[in-house]
Amino acid sequence: MQLSIIQFTPIFGDIDKNIEQLTKLIEKVDEANLIVLPELASTGYKFKDRDEAMTLSERANDSRFLSFLSGVASRKSCYIVAGFNEREGEKLYNSSALIGSGGIVGVYRKLHLFWDEKKIFEPGNLGLPIFDTEIGKIGMLICFDWMFPEAWRTLALKGASVIAHPSNLVLPYCQSVTPSYSLINRIFIATANRLGTEQELTFTGNSIITNPIGEVIAHGSTDKTEIITAIFNPLLALNKKITPENDAFTDRRADVYGDLRV
C-alpha cells in the first residue's frame, strides 16, 4: 500500500482557506491508499481561549472540513486521516477522523491533552478504537498521546497494522521514540506533523513513517510543505516474531506486569 503524509501549515482560524490549500496539496498525491494530515488541520492549534475554539469547531456529521475530505476520498478511492476541532453538544474534543470513499468510518478523540489544551478540550471519551479496512486495521493517536506507551500497545494488541498519528509537535522527542514503538509493537506508524508558528509555539515538521523493524522509511524536512510517501506491505505487521523463538505479543508476561494503575 502507499501511505502519504501531507506536511503543511494550517492557516489559523480559517477552515475555508485550509480546504483551499489542501485541495491543491492533495491533487499532488498520486495513488495513495491512505493520506494522513496533521492534528487540528482544519483550524490550526493555538486558540486564544475556549470561546474561540468553540466558534471554530464543527460537529463531525455536518463538518465542511470532513465533507470536503469525504469528497476527496471518494474521488481518489482512498482513506484519509485528519485532525479536526470537534464539537459535540457543549463539549469540544481534539479529534481525528478516518474517512473512506463512503464518508466517515470512525472518529478518535485525543486521550492525553497537552498543556493549555486542558483548558479547551475534554479528554477523549471514545477509548482506543481500531477500524477494519481493506488495507488493514487502522488505529489513530493524536500528537501528545505519543508519550504513553500503553496507548500504542493497546491499539497494537487490538490488531492495528498501521497507526495514523496526526500531530502538532513542539517538543523534540517524539520522532526519536516512534521508531521504537513501531519495533516493539511490530506495526507501521505515520506521524504527520505540521509546520509554522502560532503565538509562542513553533511546530517542528520532520514527519515520519516507521516500519515494524523500527526503521524510518520516509521523513520530511523541518520547514517545507511536502508530501512524504512510503510504499509497504501492511501484512508485515501481522508477524510479531522477532526470532523464531520470540514473539512480541505472546512472550509478554502480563501475569507479572499486573494492573499498571497507580
Residues ≥6 apart with Cβ < 8 Å to 241: 247, 248
**CB contact at 8 A, 33 and 3:** yes
Contact segment (CB under 6 A) with ligand ACM among 25-33, 64-72, 149-157, 164-172 equals 164-172
Pick one of 3, 8, 29, 39: the residue that binds ligand ACM (CB under 6 A): 39
Contact segment (CB under 6 A) with ligand ACM among 26-34, 58-66, 81-89, 163-171 equals 163-171
* Contact call for residue 144 and ligand ACM (CB under 6 A): yes
Where does residue 19 rank: exposed (0-12), middle (13-18), buried (19+ CB within 10 A)?
A: middle
Quick one: how far is CA 189 from the chain centroid? 9
**CB contact at 8 A, 57 and 85:** yes
Pick one of 168, 175, 207, 210: the residue that binds ligand ACM (CB under 6 A): 168
How is residue 58 written as a grid cell?
Answer: 464543527
Stretch 231-250 residues interacting with ligand ACM (CB under 6 A): none
Stretch 79-118 residues interacting with ligand ACM (CB under 6 A): 114
Give the residue numbers marked as catalytic: 39, 110, 143
Q: Which is nearer to ligand ACM, 46 or 186 (CB)?
A: 46
* Contact call for residue 143 and ligand ACM (CB under 6 A): yes
**CB contact at 8 A, 130 and 154:** no
DSSP helix/strand/coil, 173: coil
* Contact call for residue 185 and ligand ACM (CB under 6 A): no
Report the interface residues with ligand ACM, using CB under 6 A.
39, 114, 143-144, 168-170
